[in-house]
Homo-oligomer: A and B are copies of this chain.
């Protein structure tokens, strides 16, 4: 395992993007956020996923130059067509629009169609929190999970992100509707680990903790069984319906790797109706109470969502970002 400085990672990814004719504004943003994802511990959607992004650019399903185009707007809601641009710059742009609407109306919602993987959902939560706003964002995906009681994967694991700004540490939840994300399964396979709980079905239809078996069968287990499946279904309808875009079913009918997904960015400028000081006091009391929980395991530690990410960032800033040698060799080879 290498330990690389954030700046080195960011610059290297940026240089690779230039080999794909990426405009500087987009190359800087995408390299910064993907390096930051690894810096803050979301290794699955940082450096590790960068070679796949380059492959997607080379396959022509990610257009490095495209920018979202407005479809419709009414009051505090709007929808955009992402023109199959880079997932990160498209999502960042839509969050900016939603935040501008929220400043004007207290809330703003932007839906986006024909976009690509936004990588780490929490990115857009921190974007809102940096301006003292709360956010709820979700995306659909390619079919990768059977609904509850089914054999074949017809729904997506549709990640959801909810962020609440807090001076002593933003509370940010970022989770997929499967018990484990594909990213987490891929990382475990790379590291030769079994999952801590059953993760899906093997090709014989048995529940298993083996990441390789689930990656092969593509039969992820929904988080909370029927609950994760139901949430996935309704979030897919909301995203595709609001964006006039593709549902998971429609994405599944496209040839090639996942592309053309639908996303929703919803922002709340909460201090407009709730004075900041009072909100901080309410939230701090709740977090304090949570952290006073008695751990099951004596060595265990109770954290709030987002706390680990903040700590990993501090550690990786000091020690460097841990990077798999094979992945780094693959990335630097693009520059040769």
Contacts and interface: CB of A to CB of B under 8 A. Distances in A.
B164 A290 contact: no
Interface string A124-164: 00000000001010000000001101111011000000111
Contacts of A72: 272-274
Nearest to A305: B230
B237 A283 contact: yes
Given A77-B105, A134-B242, A223-B225, 14 more contacts: A74-B269, A76-B76, A111-B273, A149-B301, A154-B292, A173-B234, A179-B224, A179-B225, A197-B225, A233-B304, A237-B282, A237-B286, A240-B286, A249-B286
- Ranked nearest first, the 8 interchain pairs of A and B with the lowest CB-CB distance are A223-B224, A77-B106, A75-B105, A249-B289, A150-B293, A74-B272, A247-B286, A75-B106
Interface of A: 71-79, 104-109, 111, 134, 136, 146-147, 149-152, 154-155, 162-164, 166, 171-173, 175, 179, 197, 205, 223-225, 227-228, 230-231, 233-238, 240-245, 247-250, 268-270, 272-274, 278-279, 282-283, 285-286, 289-290, 292-297, 300-302, 304-305
